[in-house]
Amino acid sequence: MDALPAFLVDAPRYLFLTGKGGVGKTSIACAGAVALARQGRSVLLVSTDPASNVGQVLGLRIGNTVTRVPSVDGLSALEIDPDEATSAYRERIVGPVRGLLPAAEVRLIEEQLSGACTTEIATFNEFTALLTDDVLTGRFDHVVFDTAPTGHTIRLLQLPSSWTDFLDEGKGDASCLGPLAGLERQRTVYAEAVAALGDPERTRLVLVTRAQRAAVAEVARTHDELAALGLRQQHLVVNAALPEPRSGDALATAVHERERAVLATLPPALAALPRDVLELKGDDMVGLDALGSLFEAGQVAVPGDDGAELPPLPPGARSVADLVDELAAQEHGLVLLMGKGGVGKTTLAAAVAVALAERGLPVHLSTTDPAAHLAQTLEGTVPDLEVTRIDPAAETARYREHVLRTKGASLDDAGRAALEEDLRSPCTEEIAVFQAFSKVVNDGRRRFVVLDTAPTGHTLLLLDATGSYHRDVARQMGPAATFTTPMMRLQDPGHTRAVIVTLAEATPVLEAEGLQEDLRRAGIEPWAWVVNDVAAATATTDPLLRRRAQAEVVQIERVLRRDSERCAVVPLLTSEPVGLAALRDLARPAGARLAG
């Protein structure tokens, strides 16, 4: 590697890579950390993503402790494991009272500390320690953060200010933070974290995107939100841009031209940032050899560039239309689109919802994704289709207003002030979003509900809250009671069809398999998989796309053999699937080979 990309030149101590899921943050973070280490710097690579795959990219096992990468001098890595962080956090709170309180009360405290809010705070405490604890990170010249998808990252970066404000305004309900005696120390740590994040001499934000309209729109929102938080030292990295085709292939030419058009019309705030454009590679970015090529320009020569046919799609690969046919026979229920960010969940959710509605079936299309763009994807209305969004800010405001109007109605001024203080806790959002999610889940009893979920890690936290609520209800009702909780509806295959969406690449498939195992542990059996943006499902003659197609077929075979016999394949398209006409095309019956 001859020269560093612009975002690594004169790099400050802390580098944060953020952006829409699936744009390549992990690959770029890993490649950047390796590049800095090979420049003779000591580097710590950290993942704050609840669905981290840093270990998969580097080809070694990484956990919740600093682990040296043996093949790269000066490089260490750490994955903040939410489960381990939560267990350690919970033990710090419960440990001192174990043996002093009755066992039943200790179990109740542990149950109260098992929700998504506790996980968020525990993970956040690990994150702030990396910004403030010189004993932990003082020996490193650089700390490179591979963050969770955008909405989750914005929430994480807002937390130092949120908790500092909460502590400044009054202690309120400190159950999420731990014993009251530790609050002053927490206040100091959070204030130091805020200072580090806002100091351009110490911190640089790297906004990663693809040359796609939705990804650019989201990264523009991220730019504004981070600037509002005081993080103004930003760079832009456009990943996986298709090089100018030399083949004359219609699909490759169309994709290249639409990506060029996106880059030529960047919003002014993004266009003004220092920028790197990284070219699409023929191989998956897994392993040090692949990472070493990520910042190199120029197409890699493709063996066998003789116009040979593409490999056939594996037997058993279906179309989205096949899945819709099977869904429509049920006439109602919850269709849950899940997976890594950036794999096309929003588009596929919209396509399925439109296809069902145009069969005359009532459909409710909704999303739990903080960075959702359903309206932009649809660009129109359809009879029998209602579109909503579970907006965390709106749901939290609605929940606070309801609590004050009901519980607060009988309180005196002091009591109402205390209640308002409690409702300013960041944990209030967890309750509000869970309640809205529960209503959507139950709505599937009378019509189809197609739910576009947030990226994997954020969704698992929401499911964790659902499971905590179920356990709490079960404990209070007793073993003889009859009841139905949202978790029970999610676990009911007659009510819920969970569809895992992924790309035909090694890392997204591995992560999707991890999601499937998490769902199974929660008692939710995935119903189908959808593999999106498949060059092997087109008639391309472009050598770079054909090279990618060879690897895609291997991944689709893996899904059909190991993961799900019900697997639909969506071809790489010449234009982004936006608008009703394009969405209808996605769910139309298709042959084994589509032109895109």
Rounded distance, CA 450 to CA 378, Å?
14
Which whole number is the average pLDDT over 492-516?
90
Choice among 18, 76, 507, 541 that is catalytic: 507
- 79 vs 594, higher pLDDT: 79
178 has a pLDDT exceeding 50: no
- Looking at residue 117, its pLDDT comes to 61
- 462 vs 579, higher pLDDT: 579
Which whole number is the average pLDDT over 426-432?
73
Choice among 19, 22, 151, 178 that is catalytic: 22
Which whole number is the average pLDDT over 164-178?
49
Going along the chain from its start, the domains and CATH numbers come out as: 6-293 (3.40.50.300), 317-392+427-586 (3.40.50.300)
Choice among 18, 19, 25, 347 that is catalytic: 25
Record the tokens describing residue 236, joined without a space: 């832009």
Sign of CA dihedral 71, 76, 80, 84: positive
Choice among 49, 81, 276, 284 that is catalytic: 49
Please say if 170 is a catalytic residue: no
Record the tokens describing residue 370, joined without a space: 């903080």
- Weakest mean pLDDT among 46-55, 142-151, 174-183, 476-485: 174-183
Choice among 24, 32, 333, 444 that is catalytic: 24
421 has a pLDDT exceeding 50: yes
Rounded distance, CA 369 to CA 361, Å?
25
- Which helix (H) or strand (E) is 44 found in, with range? strand 43-47
Choice among 18, 20, 21, 26 that is catalytic: 26
Q: What is the pLDDT of residues 326-379, one digit of tens each?
A: 999 998 999 999 887 778 888 999 999 999 999 999 999 998 876 566 777 887
- Which helix (H) or strand (E) is 457 found in, with range? helix 456-477
Other Cβ atoms within 10 Å of 427 Cβ, number: 22
Which whole number is the average pLDDT over 151-166?
53
- 345 vs 595, higher pLDDT: 345
Cβ neighbors of 429 (< 8 A, separation 6 or more) are 392, 395, 396
Please say if 507 is a catalytic residue: yes
Rounded distance, CA 216 to CA 235, Å?
14
Please say if 49 is a catalytic residue: yes
**Mean pLDDT over the full length of the chain:** 81
Please say if 27 is a catalytic residue: yes
159 has a pLDDT exceeding 70: no
Record the tokens describing residue 14, joined without a space: 């802390």
Q: Which of 343, 300, 50, 52 is nearest to 210 (CA)?
A: 343
> What is the chain's percent helix, strand, coil content, to nearest 5?
50, 15, 35
- 52 vs 253, higher pLDDT: 253
Q: At what angle do helices 116-132 and 150-169 cross, to 10 degrees?
A: 90
227 has a pLDDT exceeding 50: yes
Distances (CA, A) of 383 to 362, 446, 483: 8, 17, 35
Which whole number is the average pLDDT over 475-482?
61
Cα three-residue angle 417-436-223, rounded to 5 degrees: 85
Please say if 339 is a catalytic residue: no
33 has a pLDDT exceeding 90: yes
Q: Which of 259, 333, 25 is nearest to 153 (CA)?
A: 25
Sign of CA dihedral 339, 381, 392, 217: positive
Please say if 368 is a catalytic residue: no
Question: Which residues of 341-418 form beta strands (DSSP E)?
Answer: 363-367, 385-387
When pLDDT is cut at 50, 70 and 90, the band that residue 596 belongs to is: very low
Per-residue HEC secondary structure of 265-317 comes to CCCHHHHCCCEEEEECCCCCCCCHHHHHHCCCCCCCCCCCCCCCCCCCCCCCE
Please say if 287 is a catalytic residue: no
Asked if 233 and 13 touch (Cβ cutoff 8 Å), the reply is no
Q: What is the pLDDT of residues 568-580, one digit of tens each?
A: 999 999 888 888 8
Other Cβ atoms within 10 Å of 185 Cβ, number: 10
Which whole number is the average pLDDT over 454-470?
58
Q: Which of 406, 404, 397, 523 is nearest to 466 (CA)?
A: 523
Record the tokens describing residue 233, joined without a space: 């030292």
If you write DSSP's letter for every residue of 306-359 in order, what string do you get?
A: TTPPPPPPPTTEE-HHHHHHHHHTT-SEEEEEE-STTSSHHHHHHHHHHHHHTT
Choice among 27, 47, 164, 428 that is catalytic: 27
For 284-287, the CB contacts below 8 A with 24+ separation are 284/505, 284/506, 284/507, 284/551, 285/24, 285/27, 285/30, 285/31, 285/57, 285/507, 286/56, 286/57, 286/59, 286/506, 286/507, 287/57, 287/58, 287/59
Rounded distance, CA 35 to CA 296, Å?
12
